[in-house]
Structure 1
Amino acid sequence: MTKRFLPLALAAAIALPAAAARADTQPPPRIMVTGEGESAIAPDLALLSLSVMREAKTARAALDANNDAMAAVIAAMKAAGVEERDLQTAGIQIAPRYNYSNKPDGSQEAELVAYQVTNTLSVRVRDLSKTGEILDKSVSLGVNQGGGISFTNDDPEKALTEARKLAVADAMQKARTLSEAAGVNLGRIIEISDQAVMQPPPIPYMAKAEMRDAAVPIEAGENAYHVHVNVVFELK
């Protein structure tokens, strides 16, 4: 069999493009940094969770009593200026209540004593100055289960935009510091992503039947919007 050999110049010409292709497929050196930004603004929306619980010998009687109490609460919400679109039933629960007694043989005997019906209403209050008044009125009309309150913003985009700008500036500064310390130069931005989180201060509220007649004191504070950005830079 006759062996054929390529000329040396031709073999080199074939090898060089292959090596260049392999070099092109290798990703350039890069650095990834995380930046953080925060912007705080006053809330303009209060979210309330109000529950009415009624108990009676029969489920029907408990439900009727609960319906009457919750209807009065809803009417009071509307009279205070809360629109229908800001009222939403969050859940209705009907449950039996038992008394348990020990029998001589050591077992327990369950006696059905009543039925409990709980109706929970979610309320959005757009006039924050009325929040305390609404809470106080709801308790007077029948809200007797625990409740909750939180403050948010109807349109937080302006605060988020400011937080994003601060986060990107923070990432840029970190990248410059790291590259200077490493003795390299920053190139173009290859990739950037962000994640936004709202962290309002926790404001617990528990409805109590013994609340005084004056409106419940409410402090709305500020909502802090946090943004984290991941930025990938090419290194020269």
Structure 2
Amino acid sequence: MPQSLSRLALRPLALAAFLTLGACSPMSSNAQTTPFVATDGTLLNVSAQGEARRVPDIARMSTGVVTRATDANAAMRANAEQMAKVVAAIKAAGIAEKDVQTSGINLNPTYQYRDNQPPTITGYEANNTVSITVRDVTKLGKILDTLAAVGANQINGPSFDVDKKDEALDEARQKAIASAQARAEMYAKTLGMKVRRIVSISEGGGFSPPMPMARGMMAMKAEADTSVSPGENTLSVNLDVVFELGR
């Protein structure tokens, strides 16, 4: 075979090998670049956010017991006895075992400080804390009062959340798409063009901003539950949408 014909025969093979290797090349799943699109139009990248509001239906908080004694063993024993009452009250309130998790057990010496002398150990402090999830926020005030009554001397929270977020996030997505579409139509009209199609959509994370502590949560009332106000959570979705504009 003549050399010139041999080169022509090899070119399709080389091209096929190049395309095969290109198809197999790994790409980072985090890469979010505008895709190459063969078009005679203009590509427009629009960032849009959609939001959905929901009343929280779960609350997360932590509670526990701090005890002090002159020796470490006594501090831990006293803590275990008091914490057993707290855990029993949590279960009696109808909170499932899966929603109760030990978040910290600590034993630390307590010191006395004097001028020009090294600190001396005067006793020990034991601390046991559990994190709990309350799935009926209407009972939260009563649960808080019960925990305090059985000896819990540490209560932190609550933070409110939405248990099942899919429906709310889909609502936020729809609003984000509508916002991006309206913005693309505005740009196209301004430029004397039309929106031909959506080339790509890239979604950022949906999130629920943390809620502040409920107003008056620890304001004890005579013969009444602690006041708890769950308020409202906002869930949002961020989208990057690439449109193709044309005449």
Secondary structure of 1:167 counterpart: helix
What is the alpha-carbon distance in structure 2 between the residues aligned to residue 71 and residue 206 of structure 1?
28
Secondary structure of 1:147 counterpart: strand
Task: Count residues in correspondence.
Answer: 207
Listed as ranges, the matches of 1:210-225 within 5 Å are 211=220, 214-225=224-235
Shift of 1:211: 4.5
Matched, 1:100 2:113: yes
What is the alpha-carbon distance in structure 1 between the residues aligned to residue 94 and residue 161 of structure 2?
19
Matched, 1:115 2:115: no
TM-score by length of 1: 0.80
Which segment is superposed worse, 26-35 or 138-147? Answer: 26-35
Aligned residue identity for 2:160: F
Q: What residue in structure 2 maps to residue 49 of structure 1? A: 62
Shift of 1:184: 2.8
Q: Is the 8 A contact 1:149 1:205 kept in 2?
A: no
Q: Deviations over 1:171-196 (max 9, x none)?
A: 11011111211233322212112221
What is the alpha-carbon distance in structure 1 between the residues aligned to residue 122 and residue 192 of structure 2?
79
What is the alpha-carbon distance in structure 1 between the residues aligned to residue 37 and residue 235 of structure 2?
39
Which consecutive aligned stretches of 4+ in structure 1 deviate over 3 angstroms post-superposition? 25-29, 204-208, 210-214
Point out the structure with max Rg over C-alpha.
1
Query: Once the two structures are aligned, what percentage of the paired residues are identical?
Result: 38
Extract unaligned runs of 5+ from structure 1. Answer: 1-24
Q: What residue in structure 1 maps to residue 85 of structure 2? A: 72
The 1:45–1:228 alpha-carbon spacing in structure 2 relative to 1, beyond 3 Å, is same
Matched, 1:176 2:189: no
Q: Is the 8 A contact 1:200 1:222 kept in 2?
A: no
Residue 236 of structure 2, aligned match among 226, 230, 235 = 226
The 1:228–1:131 alpha-carbon spacing in structure 2 relative to 1, beyond 3 Å, is same
Q: Deviations over 1:79-113 (max 9, x none)?
A: 1111111111111111111111112xxxx420101
What is the alpha-carbon distance in structure 2 between the residues aligned to residue 85 and residue 130 of structure 1?
18
Q: Deviations over 1:206-230 (max 9, x none)?
A: 997x945532111112221111111
Shift of 1:47: 0.9
What is the alpha-carbon distance in structure 2 between the residues aligned to residue 70 and residue 89 of structure 1?
11
Q: What residue in structure 2 maps to residue 3 of structure 1? A: none
Residue 156 of structure 1, aligned match among 152, 162, 165 = 165
TM-score by length of 2: 0.77
Q: Deviations over 1:25-69 (max 9, x none)?
A: 886431111112111112111111113111111111111111111
Q: What residue in structure 1 maps to residue 211 of structure 2? A: 201
Extract unaligned runs of 5+ from structure 2. Answer: 1-35
Q: CA RMSD in A?
A: 2.2
Q: What residue in structure 2 maps to residue 34 of structure 1? A: 47
The 1:26–1:126 alpha-carbon spacing in structure 2 relative to 1, beyond 3 Å, is closer
Q: Deviations over 1:140-195 (max 9, x none)?
A: 22222351101112211111111110111001101111121123332221211222
